Structure 1
């Protein structure tokens, strides 16, 4: 029986924080919220998490920033065309949008009967009408997301002072996992043999 939903907002590297949130389905309350950095931290969390087989876990897809050297490349990478005709040779994986970070761990957890799905943060925010007019992950965008989660999604336990964006995105993962339990999601594609889901 599924009793919890878990959201993990995975950072592209260990220098960028990852957030984890655990929500109890029966009460609708967040029971755990934390920041993690290295894959060892994430692995340790799942090793010590007692309700692994009784949870639905949604893990975000981090952007792959390994080849980028300038700010304009970070912002332009998301708009590159998908390679369908072979006109853009994929030298050094420059067309790869998502990082492979943690894929081995998540596949191993899936083999151990965990209910794991991936999600794309920005697509999920659009479907939940949580997309602001502010620059993504800016302080104004974070404040907008936090206030909307507290006022419209019933997360009354969120503090008034600003929370880290990774934790807010992890809360989005718990919301998406609960929507998946209600049958309101669909698979949009697969990434490293794990289904990437979003709201219908």
Structure 2
């Protein structure tokens, strides 16, 4: 089951948990209020399980690839990790199915606080278009994820501030007002 909590706001190593003391966990209902969707799948048997295929059909995902983020396999690793961690939004949903390893997605909630979402093997997470977010690996420096798209992949980050972007305005109408 996914774990998510209020980020402590510290600027130290982005790969740390950054939990407040005491930890302030949030549940799946809270994430759903922010537009974040989550499923737990069997990463070793997801094809046979059929849940991912059903989600892809229902949501129109027709393109996929796999990315492995580790210092040994991702060119310009440290630079890419810094780019992933810049606060941004996308015009489309961001869909990630974790095949192996672990990391963190941080999202801005309705009060503009960071919520840290830990993703591990078997987690499928969908961030809605227009949500401010960022991504980092944890201290293990390894994640393998299936990325899903509608049509050819478009991964254009719009760094904050981007409140005038149509996806952000749509997100605000659906989830923030």
Using structure 1 for the length normalisation, give the TM-score. Answer: 0.28
Using structure 2 for the length normalisation, give the TM-score. Answer: 0.30
Which one has a larger percent helix, Structure 1 or Structure 2?
Answer: 1
Which one has a larger percent strand, Structure 1 or Structure 2?
Answer: 2
